[in-house]
């Protein structure tokens, strides 16, 4: 019986990411129950249009930072339609953020001051996969402190320190969208 270790490794990564995402959503749900009020609106920045000949680590950092900015804006404005400029349609991440925004709307909660900061980025691979162009990046980012608010009050969520992710971007026309992201575990 032939065992495909690559598929098993990919499945384990997806399961770890899903676990982290579910833990985050569960934590946010608990926090929503004890928080409050009005939301900040931010203009969406257009994603940079970068030709392949120009792609380097600075360009990838600009692309990922723009995607993070749009994602944060979508969450703060509770606007799921903005996520179409961030994720490949139907990805687990897209679904997770849709559910998060639904929870914010259902609990009449708002998020203020949410920002992600890309600190380091390394290109791992650039290839064709299933007839689409894919770039795999190792991205280290942090999340700002933010405020979760509803009719009961405000709750300040502390800053999240740096985490490293393995992110896959898929080209859609002239843009890059996130198709997958998995937290890199420190096994040392």
What CATH code is assigned to 5-37+54-183? 3.10.450.50
Q: Please write the tens of the pLDDT for every residue from 125-159.
A: 999 987 889 999 999 999 999 999 999 999 999 99
Of 29-33, 88-92, 116-120, 179-183, which gets the smallest average pLDDT?
29-33
**Tokens for 34?**
């004890």
**Residue 53: pLDDT above 60?**
no
Nearest-angstrom CA–CA distance, 171 and 60: 13
pLDDT in tens, 71-87: 999 999 999 999 999 99
Domain boundaries, the chain: 5-37+54-183
Contacts 24+ apart (CB under 8 A), 179-186: 179/87, 179/88, 179/91, 179/134, 180/14, 180/17, 180/91, 180/92, 180/93, 181/17, 181/93, 182/13, 182/14, 182/16, 182/17, 183/16, 183/17, 183/20, 184/138, 185/16
pLDDT of residue 140: 95
| pLDDT tens per residue across span 20-30 | 444 454 444 44
The share of the chain scoring above pLDDT 70, in percent, equals 68
């Amino acid at each position: 019986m032939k065992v495909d270790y690559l598929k098993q490794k990919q499945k384990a990564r997806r399961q770890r990411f899903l676990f982290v995402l579910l833990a985050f959503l569960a934590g946010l749900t608990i926090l929503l129950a004890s928080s409050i009020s009005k939301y900040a609106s931010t203009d969406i920045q257009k994603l940079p249009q970068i030709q392949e000949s120009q792609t380097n680590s600075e360009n990838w950092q600009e692309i990922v930072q723009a995607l993070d900015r749009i994602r944060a804006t979508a969450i703060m404005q509770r606007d799921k339609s903005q996520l179409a400029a961030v994720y490949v349609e139907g990805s687990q991440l897209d679904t997770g953020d849709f559910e998060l925004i639904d929870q914010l709307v259902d609990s009449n909660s708002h998020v203020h001051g949410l920002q992600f900061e890309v600190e380091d980025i390394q290109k791992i691979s650039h290839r064709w996969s299933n007839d689409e162009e894919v770039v795999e990046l190792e991205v280290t980012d942090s999340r700002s402190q933010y405020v979760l608010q509803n009719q009961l009050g405000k709750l300040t969520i502390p800053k999240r320190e740096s985490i490293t992710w393995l992110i896959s971007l898929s080209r859609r026309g002239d843009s890059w969208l996130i198709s997958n992201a998995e937290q890199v575990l420190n096994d040392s």
